Amino acid sequence: LAKTTQPISMDSYEGQEVNITCSHNNIATNDYITWYQQFPSQGPRFIIQGYKTKVTNEVASLFIPADRKSSTLSLPRVSLSDTAVYYCLVGGMDSGYALNFGKGTSLLVTP
């Protein structure tokens, strides 16, 4: 299974754009890159998934370079309610769609 590395923590002010980068050097050809958000005492919530290039939805964008060895989750104009842990996962058919969560990035948004 591909291992992911992401910063342990990040701080931001309200209204700023936040970019969280994840490294996954051993990503397999068929692996997806997926990001989840988790608030304390709640189950993780799916944010965005991509395979290559750029994906955007109503809450975030995911940038994936051509070599796919890293990815960046971009959260535009964060608010206090975006304070949470963000997990980057890689996986797909070859790994039986395993969902292996690392330690995640703890994002703190302050006024």
Provide the minimum distance between the beta carbon of 49 and another protein in the complex, in angstroms, as a whole number.
Answer: 5
Provide the minimum distance between the beta carbon of 106 and another protein in the complex, in angstroms, as a whole number.
Answer: 10
Provide the minimum distance between the beta carbon of 14 and another protein in the complex, in angstroms, as a whole number.
Answer: 25
* Chain CA centroid to CA 70, Å: 10
Two structure tokens written together for 106 = 């703890």
Compare residues 15 and 102 and give the one whose CB is closer to another protein. Answer: 102
Compare residues 18 and 89 and give the one whose CB is closer to another protein. Answer: 89
Compare residues 13 and 51 and give the one whose CB is closer to another protein. Answer: 51
**3-class SS string, the chain:** CCCCECCCEEEEECCCCEEEEEECCCCCCCEEEEEEEECCCCCCEEEEEECCEEEECCCCEEEECCCCCEEEEEECCCCHHHCEEEEEEEEEHHHCCCCCCCCCEEEEEEC
Provide the minimum distance between the beta carbon of 2 and another protein in the complex, in angstroms, as a whole number.
Answer: 11
Q: Applying CB under 8 A, which residues contact another protein?
A: 32, 34, 38, 41-46, 49, 87, 89-93, 96-104
Compare residues 29 and 41 and give the one whose CB is closer to another protein. Answer: 41
